[in-house]
């Protein structure tokens, strides 16, 4: 298994995304406002059956883990697109929210505060 399969990471070079409220070494020139990225994924029937069987013996549900990582990365990319479209070059206080979507899938929302920042 590789990091690319199971690890999330920022892929944008022009929009900095951080979980902190402040950005050391940068000045916040303008707060643009809330931005988010959202995706909803349905469950694969095969993966669900495999997960059900795996739950009997315990252990990681790798297929579901991989799907969730892909969903988080997609939501983050949409967040970055939203911030870029609003003229921001940073997203502060970045977070994920994951929930059930009407019992048929998983909703992943990436959100934060878009801002224009400059190096001090």
Q: What is the pTM of this model?
A: 0.77
pLDDT tens-place values along the chain, 120 residues long:
455 555 665 566 789 999 999 999 999 999 999 999 999 887 655 555 555 555 666 676 677 778 888 888 999 999 999 999 999 999 999 999 988 777 777 889 999 999 999 999
What is the reported pLDDT for 69? 85
Provide the domain count of the chain.
1
Separation between Cα atoms, residue 98 and residue 101, nearest integer Å: 9
What is the reported pLDDT for 29? 97
**Among residues 82, 89, 85, which one has the least CA distance to residue 111?**
82
Quote the tokens at residue 38: 């959202």
What is the reported pLDDT for 85? 96
Separation between Cα atoms, residue 44 and residue 78, nearest integer Å: 23
What is the reported pLDDT for 79? 96
What is the reported pLDDT for 45? 53
Q: For 75-99, give the DSSP string.
A: HHHHHHHHHHHTT-SEEEEEEEEEE
**The domain spanning residue 38 has which CATH number?**
3.30.110.70
Q: Which domain, by its residues, includes 65?
A: 3-119
What is the reported pLDDT for 76? 93
What is the reported pLDDT for 55? 61
């Amino acid at each position: 298994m590789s990091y690319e399969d199971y690890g999330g990471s920022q892929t944008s070079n022009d929009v900095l995304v951080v979980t902190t409220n402040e950005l050391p070494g940068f000045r916040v020139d303008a707060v643009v406002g809330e931005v988010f990225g959202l995706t909803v994924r349905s469950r694969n029937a095969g993966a669900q059956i495999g997960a059900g069987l795996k739950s009997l013996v315990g252990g990681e549900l790798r297929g579901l883990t991989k799907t969730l990582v892909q969903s988080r990365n997609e939501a983050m990319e949409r967040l970055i697109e939203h911030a870029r479209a609003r003229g921001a070059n940073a997203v502060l206080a970045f977070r994920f929210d994951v929930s059930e979507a009407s019992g048929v899938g998983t909703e992943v929302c990436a959100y934060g505060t878009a801002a224009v920042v400059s190096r001090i």
